[in-house]
Amino acid sequence: YQTLRLILGDQLNASHSWYKTINDSTLYVIAELHQETSYVKHHVQKVCAFFAAMQEFSHALKKAGHHVVHLTLDDTLPHEDLPALLGALFEKYAIETFEYQLPDEYRLRTQLSDFCAYCKLSTRGYETEHFYLSDSELTTYFSAGKKHRLEAFYRKMRVRFNILMNNGQPAGGEWNFDTSNRNKLKQKDLSHIPEPLVFANDVSDIFSRVKKHQISTFGTYESKCLWPITRQQAKALLFSFCETQLSKFGFFQDAMTCKADDMYVKKQWSLYHSRLSFAMNSKIISPKFVVDTVIAYFHQHEDEIDIAQVEGFIRQIVGWREFVRGIYWLNMPRYGQLNTLAAKRDLPVWFWHGETKMNCQKHAVKQSLDYAYAHHIQRLMVTGNFCLIAGIEPSQVDAWYLGIYIDAIEWVEMPNTRGMSQFADGGIVGSKAYAASGNYINKMSDYCSSCHYEIKSITGHNACPLNSLYWHFMHEHEQQFSANPRNRMVYATWRKKSPEQQTEILQHASGLLGNLDKL
């Protein structure tokens, strides 16, 4: 072979221009790398899903006539890391040219570019051809350290890619229909929640390898991987989303329930969310394909689906997904060190097993351990909010999110976690800290009625811990937050409390903060 082309585990893009022609002198390499299993402790389903999807991708390429080497953990064991493996492969196959697609993680991109700087072969990095915005144009939309806002970026993207536009104006007359979304699930809604489409991909061989190599993982093992690992499965999931969930996506986007799973729909855990993040982040399916399919479906069913639902969904992909990627690349590696609020407490132990008396946290953590999945509001307003108001050190929060979720790859995980949810970036991603008391959870879920704690109490033995932690957090950061007009009401409410009440709340919170593992 003359050329070796490396395909990383999150580069399973069958539409890439690499594959348009078959070249007998090109060897493709897909490898289960030990270094990728250990840079953070991963959920076992995440490791199995990535390895299974890589295996499927290599079969598909071979079937199409390409020359492919698929290496398992057994094969890559002798090589210390990716550069060592590549060096050995260059020698074995007398390679003259090395080509790769630009990694989406800073860690890997640096590793490969350092390797290429010393490599004697000719080397070339390609765009992944996955995102709406190419790598090279991110600098025209983002600047390092600048506070960017989603809305302005999103509108530019809609116009540039002509998405949901009518003669230069947003379809439906509004850019954003958020106000018609965000409803709570009422009792009568629970029986209508569709059962999630899941797959049953056998990953028992992969799991045996993971165990044999003593890869440290956590979470519930499922011998049948529920996630789409082929393009065909990803498309099936997308079509099922259009048919069963799209019409209510925005409406119940922020809702949470602990009742649907045991009372109505067996194994209901994702409500009206698409669960397409794994398929998109591994690049099995492209954001453009998802968006085009959803819009085409909407146009065929305009009498059943209203634009608010479609716009809400599109915004997540054309807006947030591309937005956080720009923030990541323009701010790394500094971004990974930011800790504006100087948070320094340890992540409570129950994040690893879910045994806490707080019903909301228990449900979000256990579901994440069971399915490697939680929807956005569970991540942001349940576990994320807890870590924020309890002052948990952002690197520990990042590591947990990066490990546990099926879709967690640093370029998307970190701006969401360290930025949006922990405000550790001081507002580069979001204009304010998403801090909330138990009141928010009570408004958007049915967790509180069956909780050990009392939602209406701020202090006292059984008071909802989120209430006093919230006030403690807002009080602690008053100097920084009070300048934001969006916080004016909050501080006005705090000042209305008597000094005795304030002291009691702060003392109660301090007691909890010293005992987070026991909550």
Task: Decide: is 447 part of the binding site for ligand SF4 (CB under 6 A).
Answer: yes
Task: Decide: is 42 part of the binding site for ligand FAD (CB under 6 A).
Answer: no
Please state the closest distance from residue 450 (CB atom) to ligand FAD, in A: 24
The interface partner of residue 375, options being ligand SF4, ligand FAD, none and the CB cut-off 5 to 8 Å by kind, is: ligand FAD
Please state the closest distance from residue 155 (CB atom) to ligand FAD, in A: 17
In angstroms, the Cα distances linking 3 to 26, 90, 183, 449 are 5, 9, 54, 62
Please state the closest distance from residue 361 (CB atom) to ligand SF4, in A: 7
Nearer to ligand SF4, 408 or 464 (CB): 464
Query: How many Cα neighbours within 13 Å face the side chain of 364?
Result: 25
Please state the closest distance from residue 245 (CB atom) to ligand FAD, in A: 8
Q: How far apart are CA 50 and CA 56, in angstroms?
A: 10
Q: How far apart are CA 421 and CA 255, in angstroms?
A: 18
Q: CA 101, 140, 328, 417: dihedral to nearest 10 degrees?
A: -130
Q: Which stretch binds ligand FAD (CB under 6 A): 81-89, 200-208, 294-302, 312-320?
A: 312-320
Backbone angles phi, psi at 70, to 5 degrees: -110, 120
User: Tokens 């002798």 sit at which residue?
Assistant: 78
Task: Decide: is 438 part of the binding site for ligand SF4 (CB under 6 A).
Answer: yes
Q: Which of 320, 386, 471, 481 binds ligand FAD (CB under 6 A)?
A: 320
Please state the closest distance from residue 255 (CB atom) to ligand FAD, in A: 12
Nearer to ligand FAD, 408 or 444 (CB): 408
Nearer to ligand SF4, 317 or 464 (CB): 464
Q: Kindly write out the interface string for residues 453-492 of this chain, putting x where it contacts ligand SF4 by CB under 6 A and - elsewhere.
A: x-x--------x-x--------------------------
Greatest alpha-carbon span in the chain: 79
Distance, first Cα to last Cα, the chain: 60
User: Tokens 């504006």 sit at which residue?
Assistant: 340
Q: Which of 227, 401, 447, 471 binds ligand FAD (CB under 6 A)?
A: 401
Neighbours of 133 (CB within 10 A): 18
**Sequence-ordered list of residues with C-beta below 8 angstroms from that of 452, at least 6 positions apart, any chain:** 357, 358, 359, 462
Please state the closest distance from residue 458 (CB atom) to ligand SF4, in A: 11
**Sequence-ordered list of residues with C-beta below 8 angstroms from that of 51, at least 6 positions apart, any chain:** 9, 32, 203, 206, 209, 210
Q: How far apart are CA 470 and CA 346, in angstroms?
A: 18
Q: Which of 53, 441, 474, 516 binds ligand SF4 (CB under 6 A)?
A: 441
The interface partner of residue 320, options being ligand SF4, ligand FAD, none and the CB cut-off 5 to 8 Å by kind, is: ligand FAD
Q: Which of 55, 417, 437, 445 binds ligand FAD (CB under 6 A)?
A: 417
Please state the closest distance from residue 492 (CB atom) to ligand FAD, in A: 28
**Sequence-ordered list of residues with C-beta below 8 angstroms from that of 264, at least 6 positions apart, any chain:** 190, 191, 193
Please state the closest distance from residue 416 (CB atom) to ligand FAD, in A: 4
Q: CA 243, 245, 250, 256: dihedral to nearest 10 degrees?
A: 180
Please state the closest distance from residue 181 (CB atom) to ligand FAD, in A: 12
How many residues bind ligand SF4 (CB under 6 A)? The answer is 13
Please state the closest distance from residue 378 (CB atom) to ligand FAD, in A: 8
3 state SS of 414: helix
The alpha carbon dihedral of 419, 421, 423, 428 has a sign of positive
**Sequence-ordered list of residues with C-beta below 8 angstroms from that of 517, at least 6 positions apart, any chain:** 348, 349, 350
Q: Is the peptide bond before 333 cis (omega within 30 degrees of 0)?
A: yes
140's tokens: 């025209």
The interface partner of residue 455, options being ligand SF4, ligand FAD, none and the CB cut-off 5 to 8 Å by kind, is: ligand SF4
Which residue from 400, 386, 402 is spatially nearest to 343, judged by alpha carbons? 386
Please state the closest distance from residue 273 (CB atom) to ligand FAD, in A: 3
Q: Which of 359, 378, 417, 487 binds ligand SF4 (CB under 6 A)?
A: 359
Give the neighbor-by-neighbor strand order of the sheet with 67-71: 67-71, 26-31, 3-7, 97-101, 122-126
Q: How far apart are CA 168 and CA 479, in angstroms?
A: 43
**325, 138 Cβ separation under 8 angstroms:** yes
Query: Between residue 245 and residue 284, which ones bind ligand FAD under the rule CB under 6 A?
Result: 270, 273-277, 280-281
Which residue from 50, 337, 412, 10 is spatially nearest to 210, judged by alpha carbons? 50
Nearer to ligand FAD, 90 or 320 (CB): 320
Please state the closest distance from residue 185 (CB atom) to ligand FAD, in A: 15
Nearer to ligand FAD, 192 or 211 (CB): 192
Task: Decide: is 365 part of the binding site for ligand SF4 (CB under 6 A).
Answer: no
Q: Kindly write out the interface string for residues 342-381 of this chain, putting x where it contacts ligand FAD by CB under 6 A and - elsewhere.
A: ---------------------------------xx--xx-
Task: Decide: is 405 part of the binding site for ligand FAD (CB under 6 A).
Answer: yes
Q: Which stretch binds ligand SF4 (CB under 6 A): 209-217, 235-243, 281-289, 448-456?
A: 448-456
Q: Which of 360, 377, 433, 509 binds ligand SF4 (CB under 6 A)?
A: 360
Binding residues vs ligand SF4 (CB under 6 A): 358-360, 438, 441-442, 447-448, 451, 453, 455, 464, 466
Residues in contact with ligand FAD by the rule CB under 6 A: 270, 273-277, 280-281, 316-317, 320-321, 324, 375-376, 379-380, 384, 401, 405, 407-408, 412-413, 416-417, 420-421
